[in-house]
Amino acid sequence: MDMPAPARIPVVAGAVGLLLTVINQLSAEAVDPSLQRAGVVAAILSVVLMLVGLLWTRITPVVAERAELGGAEGLCWAQGLPEPLRRELGWGSALVLTATPAATLLVIWNQTVLLRRGLLTDSPFLPGAICLRCLESGKAISLVDLKLYPGREEFDALLPGLPSVLVQPFAGHGLLVVGGWSVRCFSRSDLIWLEGWSQRLTAEWAPALDGVVATVAASGDSAPGTG
């Protein structure tokens, strides 16, 4: 198990102490009560030292390194977004990218991509089985280590090689899909913040979003444009 150097010291010291206690007990010519008591105390202290090291690892976990991701920084909007909605999506997406470990994100409403921001690719994104299951359940899905999940290929169009993905539904029609820089990078507070933003979009912008999607569908241009 990988652990920081300060945590390894008590673990190693405890293991050595426990080993020496066992050797001392086995090599003693006579086992009297005082030796037994000393052996028990030494064993307990050694185990406590090892537990301190393990707890230290949980308190200060090793931070996963950022993955080397491709793509270029960018911002793409759907055509016809009203200016107030552009401002809403703009400030919200900017905060997600700066206040969370997000590398890229997109906002979808009724199968139409309204916004892509962060590291971008030219591949169009289509919601797959994982995203559709998220919409049906109405609950966020956090894929903490993407390579372990079947069906992960649906996120290749978001950004190839993403270590983790968070899918947040809103109103049964929309999705906020966020790709992280490293495995297990999204905290509980990140999930709460993203859920709050999705609720704000639902409460204030659902009718406007329906209108934008209808306009995009009528124009036949569903690809976001750079802006």
CATH 3.40.50.1220 fits 72-226, yes or no: no
pLDDT tens-digit map of 173-223: 899 999 999 998 898 999 999 999 988 888 888 777 777 777 666 655 555
Q: Determine the pLDDT at residue 216.
A: 64
190: part of which helix (H) or strand (E)? helix 188-219
Distance (Å, rounded) from C-alpha 119 to C-alpha 162?
Answer: 11
Distance (Å, rounded) from C-alpha 51 to C-alpha 102?
Answer: 34
pTM above 0.85, yes or no: no
Other Cβ atoms less than 10 A from the Cβ of 208: the count is 16
% of the chain with per-residue pLDDT over 70: 88
pLDDT average, residue stretch 66-91? 88
Query: Domain-by-domain residue ranges, the chain?
Result: 5-59, 72-226
Q: Which amino acid is it at 105?
A: L
pLDDT tens-digit map of 112-156: 899 999 999 989 999 999 999 999 999 999 999 999 999 899 999
